[in-house]
Amino acid sequence: MDQIIIRGGAPLRGAIPIAGAKNACLTLMPATLLSDEPLTLTNAPRLSDISTMTALLGSLGAEVSSLQEGKVLALSSHDINNHTADYDIVRKMRASILVLGPMLARDGHAVVSLPGGCAIGARPVDLHLKGLEALGAELDLREGYVHAKAPGGLRGATFEFPFVSVGATENILMAATLAKGTTVLKNAAREPEIVDLAACLTKMGARIDGAGTSTITVEGVDRLHGATHPVVTDRIELGTYMLAPAITGGEVELLGGRMDLVASFAEKLDAAGISVTETEGGLRVARANGRVRAVDVVTEPFPGFPTDLQAQMMALLCTAEGVSVLEEKIFENRFMHAPELIRMGAQIDVHGGTATVTGVERLKGAPVMATDLRASVSLILAALAAEGETVVSRVYHLDRGYERVEEKLSACGASIERVKEQ
Ligand code: UD1
C-alpha cells in the first residue's frame, strides 16, 4: 500500500488546476442508462471512484471508453443485458445506488445491492427508495438487494423529501425524466452537481425546470437521446486547495475556480483572515503573515458550508488564534480525522456532532492514518503546515477523490512524495 510523506513548513506559491467534480461525474455517468444513444462527458476527473462506476456500468452491459487519458468518457448503453448491480462492486462506493433510478425508468426493472462507501455514519438509502415508490415503483428488499419493478413504467408524482439528500434527488430526478406525466420534487437538494445533472439531462431531451432551487419540476418524455456535456468544476477539490496557501502561508491561484461554487466557504476564509479574490483564470487565495483567526462552522446542504470541506477546515483551524466550534449537521461520526490531528499536536474536543478546536501555534509531523476520503486530505493539509515529517498511511481513500495530489502540491513548492509502504 502507498504512503504519502510530507515535510511541512514551506509556504505555497503557484497555480493549481481544478478538475471536474467527482460527485457530478458519478451521477452523470449513470445517466447513460436512460438512453440507448451515446453520452460523452468531457472534463472528467481521473479517480478510482470513476473507475468503480465504469466497472459497475460495464457489468450491466454499458460500454465506457476512457479517452484523452481519462479526461473524456464515452458512454453507451445501447445494450443493457444485465439488470443486477452486484454487491462486490456496489459495496466499494455508495454512489452505485444511482444506477437504480435510471435502469428502472428505462427498462421497468432493476436489482441493486445496498451500498457501502465511506464509513461516515449510517447513510441509509431510504429516501431514494421512497421517492421511487412515489413514482410507482414496487420495491422488495431481500438478502441485501433492492429488487425494483415498474411493469407499466414509472408515473409522475409529487414527492417531498423529509430532509435534503443530494443522491436521492439525483436518483429520482433521473427516473422522473422518463416517467409518464409530471413529477414535482419538493425540498430537493440545490447542489451545483444537481444543476449540472439537470443541464446534461436537458441536453439529452429531458424537460426539467427549477434545478438549483428546492422545487424541481420534470415533465416526463418518451425517450432521451445522446449528448456531450462538460463536468462542472469540483468545488470540494477547489475548497481543499484553497486551504493549502491558507494553512501554509503564501499565494496560490486555483485555475478554473468559481466563487459561486464556494461562496459560503470563502466567507469563512475571509472571516479567518484569508483573502480570496477572483482572477481571470479562477480564484486567488493569499494569506498574509501572522496566524489565522478562529471561526465557527456549521455544515449544511448547499448553499451552506459543505460537509465535504469540514475536515479540511478543521485542519486550518487547528493553528488559528482562539477557539473554533465546528458543528457537523449532515453526517454523524464525521470527526474521524480529529484523533489523527490530535496526534499532530492539535487540541480538539469532540462531543457528539460538535468539535471544539483550540488553536495551537504549530502542528508537529507524526505518522497518521487516513480514515476516509476528506479526512485523508485534511491530514495532508495539516502536514503541509506542520513542523517536521508526516507519514500518511491508507492513502487509497485519497485516490478515490483527488487526482495527482502530490504533483499539484509539489508544483507550488510543497515537499510531498508517494512511497510504497515498507
Ligand atoms: C453526497 C456526496 C457526498 C456529500 C453528501 C452531502 C456524492 C457521490 N456524494 O452524498 O460527498 O458528503 O452528498 O453533501 O455526490 N440520508 C438518509 N437517507 C437517504 C439518503 C440520505 O438518511 O436515503 C442521509 C444521509 O445519511 C446523510 C444525509 O441524508 O445524513 C445527506 O446525505 P446525502 O445528501 O444523500 O449524501 P449522498 O448523496 O450520499
Contact (CB, 8 A) for 65 and 38: no
Question: What gap in Å lies between CA 183 and CA 342, rounded to an integer?
Answer: 48
Tell me the CA–centroid distance for residue 313 and ligand 1, in Å.
20
pLDDT at 165: 97
State if residue 197 touches ligand 1 by the CB under 6 angstroms criterion: no
Question: Strand, coil or helix: what is 59?
Answer: helix
Q: Is 118 a catalytic residue?
A: yes
Q: Which atom of ligand 1 is least distant from the CA of 22?
A: 8
Contact (CB, 8 A) for 47 and 24: no
How is residue 306 annotated by DSSP? -
Residue 67's CB is within 10 A of a number of other CB atoms, namely 12
The alpha carbon dihedral of 271, 277, 278, 282 has a sign of: negative
Give every CB contact of residue 87 below 8 A, 6+ residues apart in sequence.
Answer: 113, 144, 145
Contact (CB, 8 A) for 112 and 145: yes
Question: What gap in Å lies between CA 172 and CA 131, rounded to an integer?
Answer: 6
Give every CB contact of residue 68 below 8 A, 6+ residues apart in sequence.
Answer: none
CA angle 229, 177, 64 (to 5 degrees): 40
pLDDT at 134: 98
Residue located nearest, by CA, to atom 3 of ligand 1: 308
- For residue 323, what are the β-bridge partners? 358
pLDDT at 144: 87
The alpha carbon dihedral of 326, 26, 409, 118 has a sign of: positive
pLDDT at 421: 77
pLDDT at 171: 98
Give every CB contact of residue 143 below 8 A, 6+ residues apart in sequence.
Answer: none
The alpha carbon dihedral of 206, 209, 210, 215 has a sign of: negative
Question: What gap in Å lies between CA 372 and CA 120, rounded to an integer?
Answer: 8
Widest pairwise Cα distance in the chain:
66
Residue with cell 499532530: 344
Cβ burial of 1 (10 Å; 0-12, 13-18, 19+) is: exposed
Residue with cell 445533472: 197
Mutate to test the pocket of ligand 1, among 214, 262, 330, 332 (most ligand atoms within 8 A of CB): 330
Catalytic choice (25, 118, 200, 412): 118
Element (DSSP H or E) covering residue 172: helix 166-177
Question: What gap in Å lies between CA 79 and CA 38, rounded to an integer?
Answer: 11
Mutate to test the pocket of ligand 1, among 114, 166, 307 (most ligand atoms within 8 A of CB): 166
Contact (CB, 8 A) for 356 and 296: no
- For residue 204, what are the β-bridge partners? none
**Mean pLDDT for each consecutive 10-residue tract of the chain (422 residues)?**
94 98 98 98 96 97 96 96 94 94 97 70 82 97 93 96 97 98 98 98 98 98 98 98 97 98 98 97 92 97 98 98 97 91 98 97 95 93 98 91 95 95 72
State if residue 395 touches ligand 1 by the CB under 6 angstroms criterion: no
Question: Strand, coil or helix: what is 409?
Answer: helix
Contact (CB, 8 A) for 18 and 255: yes
Residue 213's CB is within 10 A of a number of other CB atoms, namely 12
Q: Where are the alpha helices (DSSP H) in 273-395?
A: 310-317, 337-343, 373-385
